Amino acid sequence: MPWRSIVIGGVAGAELINALEASCVLSPFAANVLYQRAFPTLRASQSVSLIILRPADLGFPGGALYGDMLHKPTLVKWSRANLSGQIIETCPAEVGPHLRLQYPDQPRGEVLWIVMQGAHDADYLERLFCVSSSWALFGRRRRMLQAFRSRPDALCEATSKYVYRVREEPDGTGAT
C-alpha cells in the first residue's frame, strides 16, 4: 500500500541545499532549517517507503490537531487495521528535501505535508516541510519546498495530504 519509495541520506547538507536551489523554489524558512548544523542527514543512502494519508483516513473526519497526527497509538491502530506486517511512523526530516528532488512530476496544485519531528530553524522553532507544485507566470511549473511552524495544536484539515514513512513492523507488536 505504500505510495512511493525514495532514497534519503548519502548527501551532505550543502550538496542537498545546492541541488534544491538548482531545481525548485526553496522558501526562506525551509532554507533556514536546512542551513542548521543540527539538521539531521544520514551518512549512508537508504530507501524509505512513503504513504499519503489524510486526517479523515486516521479517524478524524472533521480534521485533527497536528499532535494527533503524531500520536503513536493512533498510527499503530491504523497500521494494524490497514497494513499487514507494516507500520506507519513519522518521517525522518530529510524526507522533505529528498521527496522534492525525487518527485519532479508532482501534479499542479498538490500539497504534501511531511509528518516529521526534529527539524528546527535558527530560533529553535520546530518546523515541518511542505512539498508543493503550482503554476507560476507564463505557464511554468513552480516546484517548491517550504517549511512551516510545527505546533501540536495546529489544525490539520480533514482533506489535506500528509506523508508518513511505512516500514516493516519490527516485532509484530507495534513497538518500535
Q: Is 126 exposed, middle or buried (0-12, 13-18, 19+ CB in 10 A)?
A: middle
Distance CA 135, CA 155 (A): 26
Distance CA 78, CA 48 (A): 19
Distance CA 97, CA 36 (A): 14
pLDDT at 82: 96
Q: Where are the domains of the chain?
A: 4-168
Distance CA 171, CA 90 (A): 18
pLDDT at 124: 87
Place of cell 548519502: 10
pLDDT at 147: 94
Q: Where are the alpha helices (DSSP H) in the chain?
A: 13-23, 28-34, 66-70, 72-82, 95-102
Entry pTM:
0.91
Phi, psi of 114 (to 5 degrees): -90, 115
Intervals of the chain under pLDDT 50:
174-176
Asked if residue 131 lies in contact with residue 112, where contact means CB atoms within 8 angstroms, the answer is yes
pLDDT at 120: 87
